[in-house]
Amino acid sequence: MGKRTFYFVRHGKTEWNLARRMQGWGDSPLITEGIEGAIATGEALRDVDFAAVYSSPSKRTIDTTGYILGDRDLEVKTLDGLREMSFGIWEGELFVDILKNYGVEYEMMLGNPAHYKAEVSKGETYHQVKERTKQAVEQILDEQPEGNILVVSHGMALRILIFVALEGADLQSHREETPHLLNTGITVVEYEDGEFRVMKANDISHLEGIAEGV
């Protein structure tokens, strides 16, 4: 087994991102800014020879992957483990309404990750997302013995995966200690000799001139 280099990318900005609606397993289309960001990401990665490409099965990630790849003839494999965190009954709701109607649990989700149980929302816990995203990466490692690997997923799922499951940050404090991953930002993680190393986190230098993600 050789070195694997992961290029993790959050999907392009969507209608629900713009409207400040909760978007997990629910979905909404990419907006123009999201499409432009994905195309710019493809340009930034045009010299990277990808051995494999993986995406969450959500349409916004599949569409983002397509714009990144452009005319490259590469198979895109979808893994359920790469989905965004599920927010249950909060899906599609405005953040301000969730705070108003479910403030106690919503604030626990944001400020007390290790103890968030999703009892009201009926969504997922951070622990559940950590385990399934880690399993997805383990599957990718089993399938890909070496080379560069593009993975297109989601903001919270990638943050938990990269910084908690792979790098070992504390789940409880990871939201304060790790960067918020912006739309079509690139995070590069190397895997070699059983160790993961974050080489570059949330790089958005290729998005100059495109409005910043949320």
Sequence-ordered alpha helix ranges (H) in 12-125: 15-19, 32-44, 59-69, 95-101, 103-111
Report whether 12 belongs to an annotated binding site.
Answer: yes
Report whether 200 belongs to an annotated binding site.
Answer: no
Report whether 15 belongs to an annotated binding site.
Answer: yes
Report whether 83 belongs to an annotated binding site.
Answer: no
Provide the 10 A C-beta neighbour count for residue 140.
20
Report whether 64 belongs to an annotated binding site.
Answer: no
Report the length, in residues, of the chain.
Answer: 214
Contact 22, 95 (CB under 8 A): yes
Tokens 């399993």 sit on residue: 135
> How is residue 191 written in tokens?
């895997």
Report whether 13 belongs to an annotated binding site.
Answer: yes
Report whether 115 belongs to an annotated binding site.
Answer: no
Catalytic residues: 11, 84
Between CA 66 and CA 76 the distance in angstroms is: 9
Report whether 14 belongs to an annotated binding site.
Answer: yes
> How is residue 175 written in tokens?
């939201």
Between CA 66 and CA 55 the distance in angstroms is: 10
Provide the 10 A C-beta neighbour count for residue 194.
6
Contact 65, 55 (CB under 8 A): yes
Report whether 16 belongs to an annotated binding site.
Answer: yes
Between CA 104 and CA 181 the distance in angstroms is: 25
Which positions make up the binding site for substrate? 10-17, 60
Which positions make up the binding site? 10-17, 60
